Amino acid sequence: ASLSQPGKPLAKERWAGVIDSVGSHTLANACAATKANGAVAACGLAQGMDFPATVAPFILRGITLYGINSVTQPKQQRIEAWDQLASLCKPDQLMTIAKEISLGESIQCAENLIEGKVRGRVIVDVNR
C-alpha cells in the first residue's frame, strides 16, 4: 500500500523517526507506522493540510509529532540549524541518497517518479 493513500489507524512499526514534508495521508501513515516512543517531524504540506489520523499511535505507542516552522524562524536560528546539519551530513554522504541528472533527462525522470520508480532525491543540473 502506498503511504499517500488512506491507511489504518495503527500500522506495523517501521521507523524510529520520520521527517515528513508531504502532510495529509502520508503524515498520518508515517505516524501510524512509527515505533514506540518514536518521533515524527512535520515540515510540509504538499499533499494537504488535513491530518486524517487517530490518536492511537500517540496513546498506544507514545510517539511525538513535532511541527517544524521553517517559514518565520529568525535568521540566527536558521544559520545555527544549517550549521548543525552541515556538521552532521557531508555532501558525499548526501549523494548516497541523491542522483544527479541533466535537464534533458528530467521528463523521463518525472515519468519514473509518477510510476513510483524513483527513490531518494533527484538533482537537476541545468548546466549538464
Query: pLDDT tens digits for 44-56?
Result: 999 999 999 999 9
Q: At residue 1, does pLDDT exceed 60?
A: no
**Which structural domains are found in the chain, ordered by start?**
1-88 (3.40.50.720), 90-128 (no CATH)
Give the DSSP H or E segment for 41: strand 34-42
Q: Is 82 helix (H, G, I), strand (E, B) or coil?
A: helix
pTM: 0.70
In the chain, what is the straight-line distance between the N-terminal and C-terminal CA atoms, in Å?
36
pLDDT at res. 111: 93
